[in-house]
Structure 1
Amino acid sequence: MKHYDFVEWLLYKNNALPEDMHDEMQEHLSNCDICMDIFLSLIDEKEILAAEDIIQKDFNDKVINKISENKIKVLKSKDNKRAFNYQFGYYVAVAAVTIILTFSGAYTNLVDSVPKITKSMEISEVQRPNVIVNFSEKIVNSTSAFLGSIENIERNKEGK
């Protein structure tokens, strides 16, 4: 995606571009947040005051009321019967799957297999050494031996 620079957006704002480039930049502006930030940084106090003269004082209230009216229309226009049928079908399907799993013994097998799985996990942990703990112990032992040898060297120097 090609981005436009500050100067190009300044020319766009002042309508100093050919119509085809102006249209292209306008399309780009609707899709690019980076260029939108650059363009919005060009808006100054004079333009804000001019916009206040054009826009009615109750503009925000009118827009919010229109949005609220549209939400109510959308909610009322939904087909409640269709939604009920969808939910009912969903619950029937879930109940059917539950009944099938119950009669097939899947839940019973699951309850019976959990203790077996737990027991096999305990056995495998006992058989497998913990590499991390062994590595940590080796580091501690090596460090202790190294420090001990340094202390012995210093004692030997002092003894001489």
Structure 2
Amino acid sequence: MKHFSYDEWLNYVKNDITENIREEFENHLYTCDQCLEHYLQAMAEHESSLPRLTNESNFTDLVMTEVSKQSSKQSIKKQKENTKKPFYQQASFHYFLAAAATLLLMFSGVFQSLATYASALEAPQIQQKKPSITEGVIDKTFAWMDSLDKKEANKK
């Protein structure tokens, strides 16, 4: 893992680096405690050069007002996006289309034929059991032996 020096963190605090490098530094802070310590030291050293808040409670109220303005702008934007959709992209059109297709299939008898086909598949089919070749050979052998026994009985 690449660690950044204290001087590099000072440049970060002073905002003397490019946006790409700044992003790399911020991502690195999530995983490295050593660099986080350097960053906090750099912040403490340059704390005097950072802007001072004159009224902290007023600042919080201003930030919260801006947040609510931004969220209301986003909700208005989403409402406009919903109204700008063409009719064929709206959910109600899709529900209507599905209902129409269902009615068409129902009245044309497709569902009835499917139900008939399904019941035919479910019904047990009686199949005549075909004797195996071995059983056929055994039956013929016994029949031949019986015929031999009858011929011998007739001779006596």
TM-score bracket, normalised by the shorter chain, equals 0.3 to 0.5
Higher relative contact order (CA 8 A, sep 6+): 2
Structure number with larger C-alpha Rg: 2
TM-score (norm 1): 0.44
Structure (1/2) with the larger helix percentage: 1
